[in-house]
A and B are shown apart, each in its own frame.
Chain A
Amino acid sequence: QLQLQESGPGLVKPWETLSLTCTVSGGSIATSYYWGWIRQPPGKGLEWIGSIHYSGSTYHSPTLKSRVTISVDTSKNQFSLKLNSVTAADTAVYYCGRDILVFDALDIWGQGTMVTVSP
């Protein structure tokens, strides 16, 4: 069955760029679904970061839009997140997920990866 797996550095220095990749296995990323990034600071709730379609169409949270880049690589069946100028407030578990539409239903999630912003 379809599985998603996040990967990337677990520690990022302040003001640098956080980079994560989500690898899709067990199926193709080139489908009608959208692929999203969601984060969860320790002890807090979920926050949508943005979503992408394999065609390249991207959608971002208004609050993070200026710092976020989401891209897709269909040849590798992956999509990626870059968040620049990070601060301690960006410390969180980052999840990737599959969505029926943009913010319709995230029906498959990765296990999540913890990213800490610290000197």
Chain B
Amino acid sequence: QSALTQPPSASGSPGQSVTISCTGTSSDVGGYNYVSWYQQYPGKAPKLMIYEVSKRPSGVPDRFSGSKSGNTASLTVSGLQAEDEANYYCSSYAGSNTGVFGGGTKLTVL
């Protein structure tokens, strides 16, 4: 099992939109609709932002959205706010009751 591939960094100005990609294979991202995204501030536990590709847990702003095409999933943050500056991790079910995380993307709000 290899980690999912995320860009190390992404950035955008307040009010803009930014998209973070998460690339896997047909054995994980491409094979199942169990992709999740987590937001993590330094020194804090991760927080679930998106699950099952595009579902938002209660309390997560609708500025956060998820999608998937083939073996690549994406997290889009619209109307960037300073508080969105954090690390973001994707994860995917990988079959046989296992899963894998991405390497993480540091989102900077300029």
* Chain A residues within 8 Å of B, Cβ to Cβ: 45-48, 51, 59-63, 95, 100-107, 109-112
Complex alpha-carbon distance, A119 and B36, angstroms: 37
Tell which of B89, B92, B97 touches A59, judged by Cβ atoms closer than 8 Å.
Answer: B97
Q: Does B3 contact A (CB under 8 A)?
A: yes
Tell which of B1, B101, B103 touches A62, judged by Cβ atoms closer than 8 Å.
Answer: B1
Interface size grouping (class) on chain B: 20 to 34
Across the interface, do B38 and A46 meet the contact criterion of CB distance under 8 Å? yes
Tell which of B34, B57, B98, B104 touches A45, judged by Cβ atoms closer than 8 Å.
Answer: B104
Mostly helix, strand, loop or mixed at chain A's interface?
Answer: loop
Q: Write 23 A-B pairs (CB below 8 A) sorted by A numbering.
A: A45-B3, A45-B89, A45-B104, A46-B91, A46-B104, A48-B100, A61-B1, A61-B98, A95-B45, A95-B46, A101-B93, A102-B93, A103-B91, A103-B92, A103-B99, A104-B52, A105-B36, A105-B52, A106-B36, A106-B38, A106-B46, A106-B91, A110-B45
Residues of A within 8 A of B51 (CB): 100, 104-105, 107
Residues of A within 8 A of B1 (CB): 61-63
Complex alpha-carbon distance, A107 and B94, angstroms: 19
